[in-house]
Copies of this chain bind each other. A is one copy, B any other.
Amino acid sequence: MPPPRTSDDELVVTWQCPDRPGIVHAVTGACVSAGGNLTELQQFSSTDTGRFFMRLQVRDMTSAQDLTAALRGIAPAFGATVHVDRLGRPVRTMILVSKAPHCLSHLLFNRSAGRLPIDVVSVMSNHPDLADLAAFHGVEFEHRKVDRSTKEEFENAILDKVSEKQVELVVLARYMQILSPHMCEELAGRCINIHHSFLPGFKGANPYRQAHERGVKLIGATAHFVTSDLDEGPIIEQNVQRVDHAQTVAQLTGIGQDTESTTLAEAVRLFCEHRTFVDGKRTVIFR
C-alpha cells in the first residue's frame, strides 16, 4: 500500500454534475483565477447515467477559502456537488468489528505506518475479543453484547457516535451483523463493507466452503459500499488468489482472509483520497 501524498498547501477537489460541454474549462478556470496550479486531473462521463465526475489536485493557492469560494461560485450553474479538502488529511473513521482480527489489524498497522490517511475515532464491536489489538494501536474500543433485543440500541449508539465525532467513514471490518435498512440509509455513501467472496459468486455465510465444494481455482474478496440491498452495493475493489484441489476449507479461509485484508484497506485508501464516486449501481474510481 503506497503512503498518501500529504501537503499542507495542496488541495484535492471533487466535482460531480450532469454531463454537458464546458465543465473542465469552467472548473480549471476557477482554479486559475484562485491562483492555483493543477497537478492532477481525472474525469469521466458516464454514458449509463449521464453524470460527469472529476477529481483535481491543486497547489500554490493563496488560500483554500479562495478556491472553495471560486468553485462554489460556478457550481450552481452546472447543478454540481463540489468538495474541497486538504490533500492527505486523515479522514475521521469508525471501524465495526466482531471477532476476526485480520482486517482490523491490517487497517491499524497501515495507519500506524503512515500509509492510510485515517483518524480512527472509535472501534465498536459486538464482542470483546479485539480490545487488546485496539489498545496496542492506541485507539478507543467499545463493545456491547448484541442480540435481537439490543440490536437497535447498539445501532443507535453507533449513529450517536457517528454524529458526535463527525465520523466521515464507517468501515465494516468483518462485522458479523446485518445492518438495518435505517442504518444503511443513514450511512449511505460513507460505509464500506468487505465481502468474503468474489462477487457475483458465492453469497451467504460460508463462501469458502462453497468454493471448496464447487472446486474453483481462484477465490476472492470484494469491497463495496453498503446499501440496504445486501451484497449488492457498488463495488470499489476486488482481488483474487489462485487455489487448488488439495486445499482444505481452513486453508482457503486463511488465503481468503489475506485477500480480504488487503482489498478492504485498498478500498479505504481510495475513499480517503477522494478517489471513489457512486454512479448508480456502479462506482467510478480514479486511481
Q: Contact at A215–B3, with CB atoms within 8 Å? A: no
Q: Contact at A217–B235, with CB atoms within 8 Å? A: yes
Q: Which of B1, B20, B39 contacts A45 (CB 8 A)?
A: B39
What sequence of 0s and 1s flags, for each residue 188-212 of chain A, a beta carbon within 8 Å of any chain B beta carbon? 0000000000111110000000000
The answer to the question of A176 belonging to the interface, with a C-beta cut-off of 8 Å to chain B, is: no
Selecting from A10-18, A25-33, A73-81, A160-168, the interface stretch reads A25-33
Shortest distance from the beta carbon of A67 to any chain B beta carbon, whole Å: 13
Roughly how many angstroms separate A38 CA and B2 CA in the complex, as a whole number? 31
The answer to the question of A150 belonging to the interface, with a C-beta cut-off of 8 Å to chain B, is: no
Q: Contact at B254–A115, with CB atoms within 8 Å? A: yes
Query: Count of chain A residues with Cβ under 8 Å from any Cβ of B?
Result: 74
Q: Contact at B199–A216, with CB atoms within 8 Å? A: yes
Selecting from A90-98, A141-149, A239-247, the interface stretch reads A239-247
Contacts of A244 in B (CB 8 A): 285, 287
Shortest distance from the beta carbon of A201 to any chain B beta carbon, whole Å: 5
Selecting from A101-109, A117-125, A151-159, A177-185, the interface stretch reads A101-109
Q: Contact at A28–B32, with CB atoms within 8 Å? A: no
Roughly how many angstroms separate A42 CA and B60 CA in the complex, as a whole number? 21
Given A109-B105, A240-B218, A254-B2, also A213-B25 (CB < 8 A): no
6 A–B contacts from the bound complex (CB under 8 Å): A115-B254, A136-B136, A198-B198, A214-B235, A216-B235, A216-B238
A38-B43, A215-B281, A245-B285 given. 9 additional CB < 8 A pairs? A3-B250, A5-B248, A24-B24, A25-B32, A40-B43, A44-B245, A218-B220, A244-B285, A258-B262
Tell me the A residues contacting B by CB distance below 8 Å. Answer: 1-3, 5, 20-25, 28-29, 31-32, 36-46, 60, 101-102, 105, 109, 113, 115, 132, 136, 198-202, 213-218, 220, 234-240, 244-248, 250-255, 257-258, 262, 279, 281-285, 287
Top-9 shortest CB links A-B: A215-B282, A2-B251, A25-B28, A2-B254, A21-B37, A217-B238, A3-B254, A136-B136, A24-B28
